[in-house]
Amino acid sequence: MHTVVVGTSGVTASDVLAVARDGARIELSGEAVAALAAAREIVDALAAKPEPVYGVSTGFGALASRHISPELRAQLQRNIVRSHAAGMGPHVEREVVRALMFLRLKTVCSGHTGVRPEVAQTMADILNAGITPVVHEYGSLGCSGDLAPLSHCALTLMGEGDAEGPDGVVRPAGELLAAHGIAPVELREKEGLALLNGTDGMLGMLVMALADLETLYKSADVTAALSLEALLGTDKVLAPELHAIRPHPGQGASAANMLAVLKGSELTGHHQDGAPRVQDAYSVRCAPQVAGAGRDTLAHARTVAERELASAVDNPVVLPDGRVESNGNFHGAPVAYVLDFLAIAAADLGSIAERRTDRLLDKNRSHGLPPFLADDAGVDSGLMIAQYTQAALVSEMKRLAVPASADSIPSSAMQEDHVSMGWSAARKLRTAVNNLARIVAIELYAATRAIELRAGLTPAPASQAVIAAVRAAGVQGPGPDRFLAPDLEAADVFVRAGGVVTAVEPVTGPLA
């Protein structure tokens, strides 16, 4: 099994994916253990002084003015975890919780939090054992960190609350720790606070969304090319020299992908009744511009994610010169914005894909295809309601594109009077990504059927490869009406697994 070594300088997106999705094991580097021990010495020294230090010998948030005596500090750290584990709603997905815990461990190992090495090791042990704390959908405002979600994780570290075992069964956390030989942690000064104060949940969801969207954007370039081909459109608009004079990188990449897919097609440029078409509709002609703008948004979001993955987000932080300073680095605005940007881009990509699907089904605009791609139109309805489903998904995507980060609800008696709502942005983006995969799958289903209905003209070799792969995956081709939901589900599974890209690249070479 792959092992991820956590040091002091952050982690990579591939590390997050390996731990969250693939169950990779975690080890702490010697450098990290040394940094943890050195920072802890600083915290212990400050704890012994009579002067109050926020998070070490004071209360938290609006209660920071109270100095806490030494005999109450362990209780203080336990209490902050228990009181902040106040989430409600459905359980958050296992991969999200694993990413959340792993990214908190990343910051702990930076040496800027003052947490003891044994606390970090216990976090790694819990992840390695496949124990997943129960985290709830609601509870984070994305400022002062993802407080409630991280608190539920810290509760498991203390042997309290509920967690899911590697078998998927939810049990008391103390029982699961005991079953795996893991001793619960007794938190000391600053440790409870350090386990709660970070953007780890929203960042983990951003990293996973970026990975999923990268595949979906490539897949959408392919399905757009298939739709262009099925509509007998022109590929002249994809010429590199046209995109060079508007040099947005994503636009050029999408156009190049579509052109590669269409190479060798006999369908492009063969217009109905021999009447040449000067221009295709926007949804076909402007596909690279829309998908390309989304790709450039992905690139910006990836830059933000990489910076955040290299960050140590906590308050207060331990600095190399021995100071422990309060700060505002826990504010989720940088991550929240790009999560919202991605939801907007994904909604637009879904919207233009649905317009191409609708064009394929309309006999007045499909240039010779049967109505709704039906076998016997009137007796058969064909893909009429598949487009309804796609339209419903697009409508929801537009609602999900409304930014969460534009909102702020004050909390903590107005101490935390401006929050990012980044967790909410991340949660709705996950739904948007799932919907986008379904939308692309429906366009794929319609476009492959439409190409097969163009008898007498040979599609591009790359198109043939996609059609063969889709059919091998259990997605049926043209024919009389049948129970459609299983076909659409199979197409969705195919798209999510990267099947479109895997089918095309042996013919086209790697897509951009």
Strand bridging mode 25-28 / 3-6 = parallel
* Pair of tokens at residue 191: 């440790």
Q: How many residues in the chain?
A: 512
Scanning the structure block, which residue is given the tokens 């947005």?
A: 248
C-alpha pair distances (Å), 344 with each of 104, 290, 353, 357, 484: 28, 11, 14, 20, 29
Distances, alpha carbon 6 to alpha carbons 2, 53, 324, 379, in Å: 13, 29, 23, 62
Of the CA atoms within 13 Å of residue 149, those in its CB half-sphere come to 37
138 catalytic per annotation = no
CB atoms inside a 10 Å sphere around CB 346:
29
User: How buried is residue 509: exposed, middle or buried, by Cβ count under 10 Å (0-12/13-18/19+)?
Assistant: exposed
Task: Give, for 169, the enclosing helix (H) or strand (E).
Answer: none
Interior angle at CA 448, CA 443 and CA 449, nearest 5: 100
Question: Residues 54, 217, 337, 445: which is the catalytic one?
Answer: 54
**What is the dihedral angle through the alpha carbons of 157, 158, 164, 169, rounded to the nearest 10 degrees?**
150
Q: Where in the sequence numbering do the catalytic residues fall?
A: 54
